[in-house]
């Protein structure tokens, strides 16, 4: 049951983005389209899971005064590996993500889970906790990207869904909502998700 909670809790009741309000910056930067949002989400899942695993394995042998340094070294090494993998196999997406892959190193979700969970729990539990929190983060990115790409570009994963004949320029009635492609709309969508989520979760509502 504990393992199941580690995996599913961050998807809703303890989501790192909409409950803990972490990792918001990348939600604004990489969610114009679904593909980079998916790749960023998968990258964070990998880094969070393996950072938790490694730090849990090392937790009893690291002096507390240097634990932050060790955490940064482990996370940075994982991010470099992920970045090189992306450049080798999905170079176009890697270019779209630009510096944001490197900034995974400073993602509060990763550091937070290492500090709050991995340093005090067993490796397997920590690994699952990392996967769960990465999935929770990725889910929010994909939801935001879904609305931004669909209404901003008329497509999903680069596949045009809104017929060209619907557009005003072709005698139709529709026009893409260009403002969806600007970062403030990502913040508005995240805020809307938080509002809807909390309206259905009374435990999260302020008294």
Q: What is the pLDDT of residues 80-129, one digit of tens each?
A: 999 999 999 888 888 878 777 887 877 888 988 998 889 888 999 999 99
Cβ neighbours for 202, distance < 8 A, ≥ 6 positions apart? none
Backbone angles phi, psi at 167, to 5 degrees: -75, 145
Rounded average pLDDT over 184-201: 89
- Model confidence at 135, pLDDT cuts 50, 70, 90, reads very high
pLDDT, residue 91, reads 86
Mean confidence (pLDDT) of the chain: 88
Rounded average pLDDT over 149-176: 89
- Model confidence at 206, pLDDT cuts 50, 70, 90, reads low
Cβ neighbours for 70, distance < 8 A, ≥ 6 positions apart? 55, 58, 62
pTM given for the model: 0.89
pLDDT, residue 154, reads 92
- Model confidence at 150, pLDDT cuts 50, 70, 90, reads very high
């Amino acid at each position: 049951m504990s393992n199941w909670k580690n995996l599913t809790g961050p998807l809703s009741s303890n989501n790192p983005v909409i409950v803990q309000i972490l990792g918001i910056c990348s939600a604004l930067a990489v969610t114009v389209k679904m593909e980079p949002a998916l790749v960023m989400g998968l990258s964070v899942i990998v880094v969070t899971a393996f950072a938790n695993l490694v730090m849990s394995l090392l937790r009893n042998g690291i002096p507390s005064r240097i634990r932050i340094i060790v955490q940064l070294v482990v996370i940075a090494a994982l991010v470099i590996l992920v970045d090189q993998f992306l450049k080798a196999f999905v170079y176009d997406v890697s270019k779209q993500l630009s510096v944001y892959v490197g900034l995974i190193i400073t993602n509060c979700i990763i550091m937070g889970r290492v500090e709050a969970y991995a340093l005090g729990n067993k490796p397997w539990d920590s690994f699952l906790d990392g996967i769960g929190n990465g999935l929770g983060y990725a889910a929010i990115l994909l939801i935001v990207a879904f609305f931004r790409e669909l209404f901003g570009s008329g497509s999903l994963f680069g596949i045009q869904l809104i017929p060209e004949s619907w557009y005003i320029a072709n005698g139709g009635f529709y026009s893409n909502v260009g403002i969806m492609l600007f970062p403030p709309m990502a913040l508005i969508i995240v805020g809307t998700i938080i509002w809807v989520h909390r309206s259905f979760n009374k435990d999260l509502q302020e008294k």
